[in-house]
Amino acid sequence: MAKIALFVGSVRQDRHGIKVARWMSNKLEKRGHDVYFIDPLELQLPMLDRMYKEMTNPPEKLRDLREKIKNADGYLPVTPEYNHSTSAALKNTLDYFLEEYFFKPSAIVSYSVGQFGGINAAQHLRQIFAELGAPSISSSLQISRVQETFDNDGKLLATDYDKKANRFLDEFEWYMEAFSNQRKKGTPY
């Protein structure tokens, strides 16, 4: 099926987001997709100095990351909400690349400990992915009160999210297939 780059948004040592990211990753794999699980905590990228394309000798981990982003058919960021926006860690990871994202769709998952599920972060990410050339699908998935939604082992407790997530992923798959078919005919640049 599709190759999907899933971005973890939080690098905090007590991060709730890793449970959301693993849950989404499992769902995508069960649907037959290949998931590139991109975790800024593991990557430990420095704050951006040169973009990938400006580097003369990029390190191995950045070359590997580039291949994943370039090969992906779609992007699924899992963002926390920090002061009504996405995280610096996610933004920093995304900013290393540009053309690699072009003409592929994104699908935004957000979460927070409050009732709004990180909707402000999701709205900012829509703008960011539009600029990256990977416009977001119409739906986004918000997880409210993330601390109560999963147990400590990452098991989903609020099962109504399963249905919402499945519908969201149905839509994402539709867009990935549509964009993929169109890319085969060529892209404007």
Ligand X SMILES: Cc1cc2nc3c(=O)[nH]c(=O)nc-3n(C[C@H](O)[C@H](O)[C@H](O)COP(=O)(O)O)c2cc1C
For binding to ligand X (CB under 6 A), which residues are involved?
A: 10, 12, 15-17, 80-84, 112-114, 116, 146
User: Using CA atoms, how far apart are residues 52 and 45, in angstroms rounded to an integer?
Assistant: 12
Backbone angles phi, psi at 107, to 5 degrees: -140, 120
Q: Which is nearer to ligand X, 43 or 113 (CB)?
A: 113
Distance of closest approach, residue 187 Cβ to ligand X, in angstroms: 35
Distance of closest approach, residue 121 Cβ to ligand X, in angstroms: 8
The phi-psi region of residue 154 (left if phi > 0; otherwise alpha if psi is between -120 and 50; otherwise beta) is left
Contact 102, 70 (CB under 8 A): no
Residue nearest to ligand X (CB): 17
Q: Which is nearer to ligand X, 112 or 136 (CB)?
A: 112
Distance of closest approach, residue 38 Cβ to ligand X, in angstroms: 15
Q: Which is nearer to ligand X, 84 or 183 (CB)?
A: 84
Q: Which is nearer to ligand X, 52 or 150 (CB)?
A: 150
Distance of closest approach, residue 9 Cβ to ligand X, in angstroms: 7
Residue 146's nearest CA partner among 117, 121, 168 is 117
Structure-derived torsion over alpha carbons of residues 94, 96, 19, 3, reported in degrees to the nearest 10: 80
